[in-house]
Structure 1
Amino acid sequence: MTYLNDHFDEKLDLSKVQDRGSKKWVAMMLPEHVKLIRQYNEESKKAPRPQLDEWDLETIQELIEIAMKRNVDVEMKTWKDGEFFYRAGRITWVDLNRRVIEMEDTFQSFTLTLSEIVDVTIFE
Structure 2
Amino acid sequence: MSEVNDRGSIKWTAMMLPEHIQMLNKMWKDKERKAKPMLDEQELEEINMKLQLAIHHHLPVQIKYYSDYDYKVIKGKIKKIDLADKYIQLDDYTKIGLMDILDVVTE
Q: What is aligned with 1:8?
A: none
Q: What is aligned with 2:8?
A: 21
- Alignment map for 1:34-113 (pairs within 5 Å): 34-104=21-91, 108-113=92-97
In the alignment, the residues of structure 2 paired with residue 64 and residue 40 of structure 1 have an alpha-carbon distance, to the nearest angstrom, of 38
> TM-score when scaled to structure 2?
0.89
Residue aligned with 2:38, SS: coil
Q: What is aligned with 1:115?
A: 99
- Quick one: which amino acid aligns to residue 44 of structure 2? L
Residue aligned with 1:50, SS: coil
1:35 is displaced (CA, Å) by: 1.2
In structure 1, runs of 5+ residues without a counterpart are 1-11
Larger Rg: 1
In the alignment, the residues of structure 2 paired with residue 99 and residue 20 of structure 1 have an alpha-carbon distance, to the nearest angstrom, of 49
Q: Which of 17, 30, 33 lines up with 2:20 in the alignment?
A: 33
Corresponding residue pairs, total: 107
In the alignment, the residues of structure 2 paired with residue 99 and residue 88 of structure 1 have an alpha-carbon distance, to the nearest angstrom, of 19
1:97 is displaced (CA, Å) by: 0.9
In structure 2, runs of 5+ residues without a counterpart are none
In the alignment, the residues of structure 2 paired with residue 51 and residue 110 of structure 1 have an alpha-carbon distance, to the nearest angstrom, of 23
> TM-score when scaled to structure 1?
0.78
- Quick one: which amino acid aligns to residue 116 of structure 1? D
In the alignment, the residues of structure 1 paired with residue 95 and residue 49 of structure 2 have an alpha-carbon distance, to the nearest angstrom, of 19
1:58 is displaced (CA, Å) by: 0.8
Alpha-carbon RMSD? 1.4
In the alignment, the residues of structure 1 paired with residue 30 and residue 75 of structure 2 have an alpha-carbon distance, to the nearest angstrom, of 27
1:44 is displaced (CA, Å) by: 0.6
> Moved runs in structure 1, 4+ residues, more than 3 A?
none
